[in-house]
Chains A and B, each alone.
Chain A
Amino acid sequence: MAEAEKVDIPEERQKEILAIEAKLASNHFEVLGVSAGATSEQVRDAFHALSRKFHPDRFHGKQLGSFKGRIDAIFRRLIEANSILTDPAKRQAYLDANPFVRAAIRAATGTTAAHQPVAAKTAEEESRDAERRARLSRHPYLAKVTAVQDHLGKAKAHIAKGEFSHAFTMLNLANQIDPQNVEVKTLLADVRKKAEHLRSDTDYKRGLTALEEGNEDLAIGAFKAAVNASASNHLAAFKAAQLLEKNGGDVKEISIFAQKAVDASPMTVEYRVLLARMLELSGMKALAKKHFEEALRLGPDHPDVKKHVKKRWPF
């Protein structure tokens, strides 16, 4: 145990060391204890202040025990954070690879770091950057991580703009590269649903427009497509069923859409009544009776119920 260890460091400083050690896995800004998006100057000042406390030289020749490793790790981490955040090119690359940090900056400052002016790169910096990128890409592990982070970042940008299908494509790519990434998986499920809804919604609206224009065939096609895109779009399902009935469509097909509307929204009385009637027509009396009863229970005063159910009572 660290507490029991005999080390030649004042207790106060030991606590500070343990406190900063606990932060080492945080982002570069947090490690240095500056606000997200702090300027180069602020970063450097913080780094200097921390160096005064945690530079291994400050503990030269002392009995350090397990603290030696801690201090070395802390100082190395401080150097890393400082060197990345004080170099415009490295900072940019870091933020590109870590959208979370960029989001934190946006939250802290209300601006996005992407729009901060970046000093023009010299030819040498360019070549060094290129070399660094080339080196990274050669490294299989880093290449994987970078690619996943890259896709993830792009996907999030699409989500923010409401472009769910683009986001879905990006996340799908990321998921193929790294199927274990939990963040990608959850986002992917989420976006898939959202993309479906969006598509279904568009088709539904298309259907309504066609209906207004009197083109019922086109409207039926659109409503069917909306149901296919998202099974939860009960409005589209009901409209499809209604239109089919009106145009003398196949009873079976009508009952399928009515069923879908009921599945997606079990509490809506109209759906139940329609489904029950279609079932009755196709000869499934028992099932029809069950749905009539349910409709009656849900809305005894509903006009559809009065119209279709009450006259059949008590079945």
Chain B
Amino acid sequence: MAEREPVIGIDLGTTNSVVAFMQDGTPTVIRNRASTNLTPSVVALSKTGKMLVGQIAKRQAITNASDTVYAAKRLIGRKFSSPQTQDGVKSLPYTVSAGEHDDIRIQLGDKHFSVPEVSAMVLKELKLDAEAFFGKPVRKAVITVPAYFNDGQRQATKDAGRIAGLEVLRIINEPTAAALAYGFGKSVNGKIAVFDLGGGTFDVSVLDVSSGVFDVIATGGDTYLGGEDFDNRLIEWLVFDFAKENGIDLRKDRMALQRLKDSSEKAKIELSTSKETQINLPFISSPPGGGTALHLQKTLTREKFEELCGDLIAKTITICEQVLNDAKVKSTDLKEMILVGGMTRVPKVIDAVKTFFRRDPCKGVHPDEVVALGAAVQADALTSEDSEVVLLDVTPQSLGVAVAGGYVRRLIPRNTTVPTSVTEVFNTSKDEQTTVKIMVLQGEAEVAHQNELLGEFILTGLRKARRGEVEIDVTFEINSEGIVSVSARDRETGLQQSIQVTASGGLTEDELKRILEEQADLMLEARTGEEIQTRKLELKGLMKEVEELIPQLDKATQGSEFGQDAISKAKSALENARKAFDAPMLSKVNESMDTLTRTISLFKGVLERIK
């Protein structure tokens, strides 16, 4: 048998990303080159001008807050002026600006990147991980998106895949992928629900599964509700109390903000297993006009955490109610309930879900990996001859056009199985009119402007006639990926009408082309050997930096207990790094780099405060 070209499934998450493939009929996660399953979706431009992706980028975030991008997924495909972006910008340590057509640009160093470009860096990292694993180039992938993503967000994700040098076979919905991984290879028959609360987005889907057919009946969600929002609640609480005590707004200091974010996330994770946790941030700030450095020290109980985030959890349950209602399914009709996403480890979330669905969630599904595994199943189903898997997904939001008076005419209601299309007749309203403008909207609001504007389509070159005489059939189509396209035809002449699309939000085709050209020379496939060599050089640099910092810190802390403890830890880290350098194992090298980066950021932070 000829060996098949490898195809991968990628879960491009808000916080973490995972890549998987089909190994002898079993979906399997591909570990990254640092030997972990999860790759943080973090991209940074180091002080030395190097692009860092993943764990290494996350580790240096504190010392390099303004040039470290996380949670890019919360921005992808959105407009700069959208309320979500405006809300997000306030709590982001990196700089976000408006692009030419109200799109979002992220600043790294002195360069401005589009969001798909940043996401592409994460995808490329995953692609390289897969290539290191297979020992050959990987070109084809299935990428997942939240089910509630709209057309623009899906397009932008696909663009990111293209920029990363991947042929995106299919964009599929995360909860659907989870159901696929859960039901694959089992004889599951019946209705199942998937509750997916991730780092940045929330989805819930109800599926009807019957021998290999995964038929989504209804889906709902919120693309701006996830772990990040829980973290932000904790940060607000810490910042507010700190401001009350010391009169200082920590959010104004990017480094402090990044440290707050880090410790909030850690505290949240710890509270999943323990009843209370300590938040300890020494030297967080120095008071204006001099004086001793300020420390932030607080105890956070699980009760307090639940109180701070209670409304977020309630919001997910409201959406669940609506989806069950749409699916015309009672919770007792469900065969199984699957929890997906890191946030479903939070005890209060589990409790709320259990109470609402009146059942224990399914055990044996890994909440962080199941989506990537499902993507791998679909990737395999699309490329292999004998797959039994068929996905029938739905469009999460209604599609409509703006009509006179600022209202919406719904053309395709939400939860319609895709692919689907609808044809609508448009008339000219003036004599000799040669163009017709159509505004395509996505969303459930009755009023046009409260929906997402997918784009403005202008029918041009209409034949000249009296008003109302020219009738144009406009066909709106949603494909299997949930991506919308529009075509038009003159009813009488049968001529295809040209349509001009004015992009809103995402990248235009020209921009995408330019980016792809610029990247062409960077598209060379990585080789593991070369990779180790470069990483070793980087490690050497880091070791040197730590060695130089140790005497400085010693002097600054003047033999205090904290200082001595830190220095001895740094020395042992250096010792480990030397060992890793001699034994050329990529995972060990990466591990040491992480430790050293962490040490450097801590030392620098302390030195800066003491000075």
Task: Give the contacts of A141-156 with B (CB-CB under 8 A).
Answer: 141
- The reply on A206 being an interface residue by CB < 8 A is no
Q: Could you tell me if A72 and B390 are in contact, using CB atoms closer than 8 angstroms?
A: no
- A131 neighbours in B (Cβ, 8 Å): 410
Q: Does B420 contact A (CB under 8 A)?
A: yes
On chain A, the residues within 8 Å of B392 by CB distance are: 51, 55
Count A-B contacts at CB 8 Å: 50
* CB of B444 to closest CB in A, whole Å: 11
Contacts A51-B213, A76-B419 given; indicate if A60 touches B169 (C-beta within 8 A): yes
A311: CB under 8 A from chain B? no
For B390, list chain A residues within 8 Å (CB): 51-52, 55, 57-58
> Which single residue of chain A is at the shortest CB-CB distance from B210?
A48
- Contact yes or no, B419 A57, CB < 8 A: no
- Given the known A-B contacts A48-B210, A57-B382, A57-B480, are A83 and B417 also in contact in the complex, defined by CB atoms under 8 Å? yes
Report the bound CA distance from A257 to B186 in whole Å.
85
In the bound complex, do residue A83 and residue B416 qualify as a contact, i.e. CB atoms below 8 Å apart? Answer: yes
Contact with B along A20-55 (1 / 0, CB 8 A): 000000000000000000000000110010011001
Cβ-neighbour of B419 out of A45, A75, A83, A122 (below 8 A): A75
Q: Is the CB of A122 within 8 A of B210?
A: no
Q: Which residues of A contact B6 (CB under 8 A)?
A: none
Is A124 located at the chain interface by the 8 A CB criterion? Answer: yes
The answer to whether B325 and A122 touch across the interface, beta carbons within 8 angstroms, is yes
Which B residues are CB-close (under 8 A) to A141?
A: 425
For B346, list chain A residues within 8 Å (CB): none
**Which residues from chain A contact B480 at a C-beta distance below 8 Å?**
56-57
Bound-state CA distance A208–B212 (Å) is 74
A246 at the interface (CB under 8 A from B): no
Given contacts A56-B480, A76-B419, A82-B417, contact A135 B410 (CB under 8 A): yes
The reply to whether the CB of A139 lies closer than 8 angstroms to some CB of chain B is yes
Task: Identify which of A57, A119, A122 contacts B391 (C-beta below 8 A).
Answer: A57
Answer whether residue A286 sits at the interface, using C-beta atoms and an 8 A cutoff.
no
Tell whether B99 is near chain A: CB-to-CB under 8 Å: no
B208:A44 contact, CB within 8 angstroms: yes
Do B208 and A76 have beta carbons less than 8 Å apart? Answer: no
Contacts A48-B213, A72-B419, A141-B425; is A61 near B382 (CB within 8 Å)?
Answer: yes
Interface string of B469-482 (1 = CB under 8 A from A): 00000000000100
Interface mask (B401-414 → A, CB under 8 Å = 1, otherwise 0)? 00000000110010
Let me know if B383 and A60 touch, CB within 8 A.
yes
- Taking CB atoms, residues of chain B closer than 8 Å to A48 are 210-211, 213, 215
A128 at the interface (CB under 8 A from B): yes
Residues of A contacting B483 with CB < 8 Å? none
- Whether B388 sits at the interface, judged by CB under 8 Å, is yes
Residue B272 interfacial (CB < 8 Å):
no
In the complex, are the beta carbons of B410 and A45 less than 8 A apart?
Answer: no
User: Does B421 count as interface, using CB distance less than 8 angstroms?
Assistant: yes
A229–chain B nearest beta-carbon distance, Å: 46
Neighbouring B residues of A83 by C-beta, 8 Å: 416-417
Give the residues in chain B near A56, CB-CB below 8 Å: 419, 480
CB of A177 within 8 A of chain B? no
A67 to chain B, nearest CB (A): 16
B381 within 8 A of A: yes
Within 8 A of A (CB), among B208-235: 208, 210-213, 215
Contact A128 B215 (CB under 8 A): no
Across-interface contacts of A82 in B (CB, < 8 A): 417
- Binary CB contact string for chain A from 87 to 124 against chain B (1 if under 8 A, 0 otherwise): 00000000000000000000000000000000100101
A281 in the interface (beta carbon within 8 A): no
Contact with A along B179-221 (1 / 0, CB 8 A): 0000000000000000000000000000010111101000000
Closest to B421 in A: A76
Contacts of A44 in B (CB 8 A): 208, 215
Q: CB-defined interface of A60-86 with B at 8 Å, one 1/0 digit per residue? A: 110000000000100110010011000
Q: Given the complex, which residues of B lie within 8 Å of A61, measured CB to CB?
A: 382-383
With both chains docked as a complex, state the minimum distance between the C-beta of B483 and any C-beta of chain A, in angstroms.
Answer: 14
Taking the closest CB of chain A, its distance from the CB of B395, in whole angstroms, is 12
With contact pairs A135-B409, A141-B425 given, residues A79 and B417 touching in the complex (Cβ less than 8 Å): yes
B569 to chain A, nearest CB (A): 53
Chain A residues with CB below 8 A from B211, complex form: 48
Contact yes or no, B325 A124, CB < 8 A: yes
CA distance A58 to B212 in the complex (A): 12
State the CA gap A56–B170 with chains docked (Å). 13
Q: Verify B213–A52 contact, CB threshold 8 A.
A: yes
A75 CB to closest chain B CB (Å) equals 7
In the complex, how many angstroms separate the beta carbon of B5 from the nearest chain A beta carbon? Answer: 11
Q: Report Cα–Cα, A45/B210, bound state, in Å.
A: 8
Q: Which residues of the other chain, B, contact A75 by a CB distance below 8 angstroms? A: 419
Smallest CB gap from A72: residue in B:
B419
CB nearest to A141 among chain B residues: B425
Q: Which of B212, B410, B421, B425 contacts A52, CB < 8 Å?
A: B212
- In the complex, chain B residues whose CB is within 8 Å of the CB of A52: 212-213, 388, 390
Q: With A and B bound together, what is the CA distance between A51 and B230 in angstroms? A: 41
Query: In this complex, what residue of A is CB-closest to B213?
Result: A48
Cα distance A61–B381 in the bound complex, in angstroms: 11
Cα distance, A39 to B480, chains bound together (Å)? 27
Instruction: For the complex formed, measure the closest distance between the CB of A145 and the CB atoms of chain B, giving whole angstroms.
Output: 14
In the assembled complex, which residues on chain A have CB atoms less than 8 Å from the CB atom of B383? 60-61
Given A76-B419, A135-B409: A60 and B382 interface contact (C-beta under 8 Å): yes
Residue of A nearest to B328 (CB): A119
Among all A-B residue pairs, the 8 with the closest Cβ atoms: A48-B213, A60-B382, A79-B417, A55-B390, A48-B210, A51-B390, A52-B390, A51-B213
5 A-B pairs in the complex with CB atoms less than 8 angstroms apart = A45-B210, A48-B215, A57-B390, A76-B420, A139-B425
A-binding residues in B (CB < 8 A):
169, 208, 210-213, 215, 325, 328, 381-383, 388, 390-392, 409-410, 413, 416-417, 419-421, 425, 480
* Apart from A60-B382, A122-B325, 16 more pairs, CB < 8 Å: A48-B213, A48-B215, A51-B213, A55-B390, A56-B419, A57-B480, A61-B382, A61-B383, A79-B419, A79-B420, A82-B417, A83-B416, A128-B413, A135-B409, A135-B410, A139-B425
